[in-house]
C-alpha cells in the first residue's frame, strides 16, 4: 500500500515546475506515503501537509515541521515558480481550462486536483475568471479500495441511500468512490455519478482516472443539472454525488426519490447538531431522502466511519433536542417574567 501512495505522490508532484519538483521528489518515502497535499505560495516555503503535521522544505532537502523562518535555508516558491506550475497543471493551455479555473480548481491527470488562489475577475456581477495566481494546493488523490466494506456491511442499501457527513479532508469522497466501485461490480447496481468537481471519478479528457467500477459519469455537471440528466437518460438505480451544499441541490435529490432512485451523497458537517442546523439537510431528512446518515472520523483517519444512524434514530434525536431547547427557552421566559415583577415591586 505504501508503494501505491508513494507513486500517487510522485505523479501529483509532476504538477510542479522543474525547479521545485526536483526538491519535492527527493523527500523520504515515508513522508510521501502519508502526504495529502503539496502547497506552494508566492514568497513562502514549499510545504507538505500530512494530516496532523505540516513539513516545510529547505534548500538542502531537509524537512522542518516547526520553527519555520523566512531565511535563505528555506525552499521559497517565487512568483515565477507559481506561474510555471499554473501553466503546467493547465497543460500550457489556460484558455481550455477556464471553466475549472473560475471554480478555483483544476483536475490533473491521475485524478489529482490543484486548488488555486488569486484575484477574482467579475463580469456583470458573475465570477468569470481568476488572474494573478498567488498560491496552488496540489491535493493528492488516493484510492483506498475496500475502505467502504465495513460501512456496507453495517447497512442495507436496498432500504435506501446514505448521507456521509464529515469535516473537509475526512475522506468522504474516498468512501463515496469505493461505495460506487463495490456496488457497481459486486452488487451489479446501475450507478450514475454526478461528479461536479471531478473528485470522485477524477476524469481527464473524458477518461476516469480512478477505479469506479461499472459506473456512468456525468463530469463537470452542476449537481442539480446532472441529477436531472441522469434520471432522464441513464435509468440509474443509484445516483452518487458529492458535497450537497444548496437547497436547489436538495430539491433535485427529492426528484430522485419521486423516481424511485436511491441517492448516496456527502455533506460538510462535523456532528448531528451541525447537520440539523443546515436547511438543505433538514429538507432532505424530512423527506426521508436517506435511510442512513454516517459520520466520518477526522483528517488523521480519513475514510473511517465512526457513527451510523438510521433515519428513525435521527428523528428521535431531533425531537429530544427540540424538547430540551424548548424547556430551556421556557425557563428563560419564566426567569424574565420573574425579574420584571421584581423590578415592578422595587419601584
Residue-wise pLDDT for 211-225, tens only, equals 999 999 999 899 999
Please give the Cα distance from 268 to 244 (Å, whole number): 8
Residue ending a domain, choose from 82, 109, 139: 139
The β-bridge partners of 103 are none
Assign residue 112 a region: left if phi > 0, alpha if psi is -120 to 50, beta otherwise? beta
Instruction: Find all residues with CB under 8 Å of 88, minimum gap 6, and list them.
Output: 15, 16, 17
Do residues 133 and 210 share a domain? Answer: no
pLDDT at 71: 66
Q: What percent of the chain has pLDDT over 90?
A: 60
- CATH number, domain of 242, equals 3.40.50.300
Q: What is the largest CA-CA distance in the chain?
A: 81
Per-residue DSSP letter, 157: G
Helix (H, G, I), strand (E, B) or coil at 241: strand
Q: What is the per-residue pLDDT across 247-306, written as a single tens digit (0 to 9) for each?
A: 889 888 988 988 999 999 999 999 988 998 888 888 888 888 999 999 999 877 889 999
pLDDT at 126: 87
Q: Which range of residues forms the domain containing residue 13? A: 2-139
Do residues 309 and 209 share a domain? Answer: yes
Do residues 69 and 172 share a domain? Answer: no
Average pLDDT over residues 333-344: 39
Higher-pLDDT residue of 337 and 165 is 165
Do residues 18 and 75 share a domain? Answer: yes
By C-alpha distance, which of 262, 7, 40, 30 is closest to 111? 7
Residue ending a domain, choose from 120, 139, 158: 139
Range name among 13-22, 65-74, 306-315 with the lowest pLDDT average:
65-74
Do residues 162 and 291 share a domain? Answer: yes
Do residues 17 and 62 share a domain? Answer: yes
Average pLDDT over residues 121-143: 92
In Å, how far are 23, 41, 169 from 224, measured between CA atoms?
Answer: 43, 34, 24
Residue ending a domain, choose from 139, 173, 202: 139
Residue identified by cell 477526522 is 298
The answer to whether residue 235 is domain-embedded is yes
Average pLDDT over residues 10-16: 96
Do residues 158 and 62 share a domain? Answer: no
Do residues 92 and 174 share a domain? Answer: no
Number of structural domains the chain divides into: 2
pLDDT band with cut points at 50, 70 and 90 for residue 226: very high
Do residues 50 and 126 share a domain? Answer: yes
The answer to whether residue 24 is domain-embedded is yes
Do residues 126 and 155 share a domain? Answer: no
Do residues 133 and 153 share a domain? Answer: no
The whole model's pTM is what? 0.81
Range name among 177-181, 201-205, 278-282, 327-331 with the lowest pLDDT average:
327-331
Do residues 56 and 90 share a domain? Answer: yes
Amino acid at each position: 500500500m505504501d508503494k501505491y501512495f508513494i507513486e500517487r505522490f510522485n505523479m501529483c508532484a509532476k504538477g510542479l515546475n522543474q525547479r521545485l519538483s526536483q526538491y519535492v521528489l527527493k523527500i523520504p518515502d515515508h513522508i510521501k506515503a502519508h502526504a495529502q497535499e503539496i502547497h506552494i505560495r508566492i514568497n513562502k516555503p514549499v510545504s507538505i501537509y500530512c494530516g496532523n503535521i505540516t513539513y516545510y522544505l529547505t534548500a538542502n532537502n531537509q524537512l522542518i515541521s516547526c520553527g519555520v523562518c523566512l531565511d535563505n535555508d528555506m525552499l521559497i516558491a517565487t512568483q515565477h515558480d507559481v506561474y510555471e506550475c499554473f501553466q503546467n497543471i493547465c497543460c500550457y493551455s489556460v484558455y481550455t481550462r477556464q471553466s475549472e479555473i473560475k471554480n478555483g480548481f483544476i483536475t490533473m491527470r491521475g485524478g489529482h486536483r490543484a486548488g488555486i488562489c488569486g484575484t477574482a475577475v467579475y463580469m456583470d456581477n458573475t465570477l468569470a475568471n481568476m488572474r494573478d495566481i498567488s498560491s496552488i494546493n496540489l491535493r493528492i488523490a488516493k484510492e483506498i479500495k475496500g475502505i467502504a466494506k465495513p460501512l456496507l456491511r453495517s447497512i442495507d442499501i436496498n432500504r435506501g441511500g446514505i448521507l456521509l457527513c464529515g469535516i473537509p479532508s475526512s475522506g468522504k469522497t474516498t468512501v463515496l468512490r469505493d461505495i460506487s466501485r463495490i456496488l457497481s461490480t459486486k452488487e451489479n447496481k446501475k450507478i450514475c455519478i454526478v461528479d461536479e468537481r471531478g473528485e470522485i471519478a477524477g476524469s481527464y479528457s473524458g477518461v476516469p482516472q480512478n477505479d469506479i467500477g461499472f459506473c456512468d459519469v456525468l463530469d463537470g455537471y452542476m449537481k442539480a443539472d446532472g441529477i436531472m440528466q441522469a434520471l432522464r437518460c441513464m435509468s440509474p438505480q443509484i445516483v452518487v454525488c458529492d458535497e450537497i451544499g444548496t437547497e436547489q441541490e436538495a430539491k433535485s435529490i427529492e426528484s430522485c426519490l419521486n423516481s424511485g432512485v436511491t441517492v448516496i451523497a456527502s455533506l460538510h458537517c462535523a456532528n448531528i447538531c451541525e447537520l440539523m442546523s443546515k436547511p438543505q439537510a433538514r429538507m432532505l431528512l424530512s423527506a426521508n431522502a436517506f435511510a442512513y446518515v454516517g459520520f466520518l472520523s477526522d483528517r488523521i483517519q480519513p475514510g473511517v466511519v465512526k457513527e451510523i444512524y438510521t433515519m428513525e434514530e435521527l428523528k428521535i434525536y431531533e425531537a429530544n433536542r427540540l424538547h430540551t431547547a424548548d424547556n430551556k427557552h421556557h425557563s428563560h421566559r419564566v426567569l424574565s417574567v420573574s425579574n420584571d415583577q421584581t423590578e415592578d415591586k422595587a419601584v
